[in-house]
Chains A and B, each alone.
Chain A
Amino acid sequence: MSCSRRNFLKTALSGSIAASLPLSMFKFLSPAQVQAATKTESDTRWGFLVDTTKCVGCGFCVKACKKENEVPYDAPITRTWVERYVVTKDGKTHIDSPKGGRDGFVARHEDVDPNVEITKAFFVPKLCNQCENPACVQVCPVGATFQTSDGVVLIDRSWCIGCGYCVMACPYGVRFFHPELKVAEKCTFCYHRITKGMKTACVQACPFGARQVGNLKDPDDPVTKTIMTERVAVLKDEYGTKPQVFYIGLDTNVR
């Protein structure tokens, strides 16, 4: 077999080039993967921790939220609310949230017979879960709602057409229609506050420390530490939305 110098060099060169090609060159990447690889990821992921064992149902959080975020005060809408659960000895669970708990719980539950013994009762604050996979964002037909790189779901008020699709899509019922602005409305984790190093209005207003907000990407953040080390639960895990509001002391009656 004859092998000219020219042929030998040609084969050797193409062979070494082929050998140096990484296999990953031939991998087909999805656009999302390319974007994830090329974009610098945020070092912040806002999350929330609710300790239901500390909540006494004063409703200062709801009041502060409504005033801070200019939610019409007397309209039956709110970005955050507190639910009361009263479980009686006859096995019934009574749930209420008068005015979303805005004025606190200043009377006994109307449906609870005063002669029946209460076995347990507790308050559960609720707010937007700022899901990792927000269903509300997926359904928006115009791109008016979106997830920021630090994990908060926001609404572009100038772009929302008020179709209400997102209100229907949210499994947690946290979205509503703003009666004055005629757009969809929801909890923003007080984005204007947390991005300036402040706590959300509800967290600041809570006298008992039942609400906490923190950066889940910071391992030294007290919220992250608690979520990592203590037993926490999320609401409606089965929906696959990956909610980022974690609860301590969640009861099976809470939906």
Chain B
Amino acid sequence: MKNHVLRPLWVVIALVVTVLLVRKVMVPADFGVHGRNFTYGFHRLSAIDDWKAFPIKYRGREVCAECHEEKTEENANGKHRIIQCENCHGPVLNHPEDPEVLPIERTRALCLRCHTSLPYPTSKRGKLPAIDPNDHNPDEVCSECHNPHNPDISNM
């Protein structure tokens, strides 16, 4: 066959080989069909381990109780025992090493998440003890009067 016919063929073959080589280098070795099938399981297998290695920040009240016995005990006897320490104190992360001190949220907004009065007859929200934030000591911090660990209105 004549050379001018063959030449484009070589070019095409070279292109295909280049693409395949680049693909071989660029695509991770563990990329393929894992799990159920191609539609839902075509991925890089180590991506699962990447997600498993994501750092945990919220560790739960059990971790707090290891050192802060007094506070957790006080909290365990009150109505606020259903609230995790970290909801107000922030995520534990690697405390006490990093951070050494956890920033406590003392804003009114924190308490108002549950205790703003909303007139919802069929919702559990309507049954929580609640105030109108504009009427109820608007400039005060809640924890000045109320003990956040073990609030008790009858004993104020």
Scan residues 23-62 of chain A and give those whose CB is less than 8 A from a CB of chain B: 31-32, 35-36, 53-60
Write out the residue numbers on chain A whose beta carbons fall within 8 Å of the beta carbon of B90. 67
B114 & A58 in contact (Cβ 8 Å cutoff): yes
B121 near A198 with CB under 8 A, answer: no
B116 closest partner in A (C-beta): A106
Flag if A103 contacts B82 (CB, 8 Å): no
A234 at the interface (CB under 8 A from B): no
Minimum distance in angstroms from B93 CB to a CB of chain A: 10
User: Which residue of B has the minimal Cβ distance to A63?
Assistant: B87
A154 adjacent to B47 (CB under 8 Å): yes
Verify A123–B43 contact, CB threshold 8 A: no
The CA of A148 and the CA of B126, in the complex, are separated in Å by 41
* Per-position binary interface string of chain A over residues 172-211, scored 1 when its CB falls under 8 Å from any chain B CB and 0 otherwise: 0000000000000000100111011010010011011100
Q: Is A121 a contact of B123 with CB atoms below 8 Å?
A: yes
Q: Which residue of A lies closest to B128 (CB)?
A: A56
Task: Report the Cα distance A207→B91, complex, angstroms.
Answer: 16
Question: For chain B residues 109-138, which have a beta carbon within 8 Å of chain A?
Answer: 109, 112-114, 116, 118-126, 128, 133
Contact residues in B for A54 (Cβ distance below 8 Å): 124
**With A64-B86, A159-B44, A192-B55 in contact, do A123 and B123 touch (Cβ < 8 Å)?**
yes
CA distance A69 to B60 in the complex (A): 16
Residue in A closest to B93 when the chains form the complex, CB atoms: A67
Q: Interface residues of A toward B: which range?
A: 35 or more
CA A68 to CA B90, docked complex, whole Å: 10
Query: Contact between B114 and A143 (Cβ–Cβ < 8 Å)?
Result: no
Contact between B124 and A105, CB atoms less than 8 A apart: no
A114 and chain B: residue at smallest CB distance: B119
A148 CA to B50 CA, complexed, in Å? 13
| Cβ contact within 8 Å between A205 and B84 | yes
Interface residues of A in 106-164 (CB under 8 A from B): 106-108, 118-123, 133-134, 137-138, 143-149, 154, 156-159
Rounded to whole Å, the gap between the CB of B89 and the closest CB of chain A is 12
Whether B118 pairs with A121 at a CB distance below 8 angstroms is yes
**Is A171's beta carbon under 8 Å from chain B?**
no
Q: Tell which of B34, B35, B54, B109 touches A192, judged by Cβ atoms closer than 8 Å.
A: B54
Interface size on B, residues (CB 8 A): 48
Q: With A106-B133, A192-B54, A198-B60 as given contacts, are A60 and B40 in contact (CB-CB < 8 Å)?
A: no
A98 interface residue (CB < 8 Å to B): no
| Cβ of A222 under 8 Å from chain B | no
A118 to B87, CA, bound (A): 30
Chain B residue with minimal CB distance to A35? B37
Please name the residue on chain A nearest to B114 by beta carbon. A58
- Residues from chain B with a CB closer than 8 A to the CB of A192 are 51-56
Given known pairs A56-B114, A146-B41, A158-B47, the reply for A204 and B124 (CB within 8 Å) is no
Minimum C-beta distance from B69 to chain A (A): 21
CB distance from A203 to the nearest CB of B (A): 10
A104 to B112, Cβ gap below 8 A? yes
- Given contacts A58-B114, A107-B116, are A31 and B44 in contact (CB under 8 A)? no
* Of the residues B35, B37, B56, B128, contact of A193 by C-beta under 8 Å: B56
A36 to B40 Cα, complex, angstroms: 13
Please indicate the chain B residues that have their CB under 8 angstroms from the CB of A122 in the complex: 120, 122-123
Are A143's CB and B31's CB within 8 A? yes
A123 CB contacts on chain B under 8 angstroms: 123, 125
A146 and B123 in contact, given A192-B56, A204-B84, A207-B84 (Cβ under 8 angstroms):
no
Q: Which residues of A contact B42 (CB under 8 A)?
A: 143, 146
Some 7 contacts from A to B, beta carbons below 8 A apart, are A105-B118, A118-B120, A121-B123, A134-B40, A156-B44, A205-B86, A208-B82
Additional A-B contacts beyond A104-B114, A146-B41 (9; CB < 8 A): A32-B38, A56-B124, A105-B118, A106-B109, A121-B125, A191-B52, A198-B56, A201-B57, A209-B82
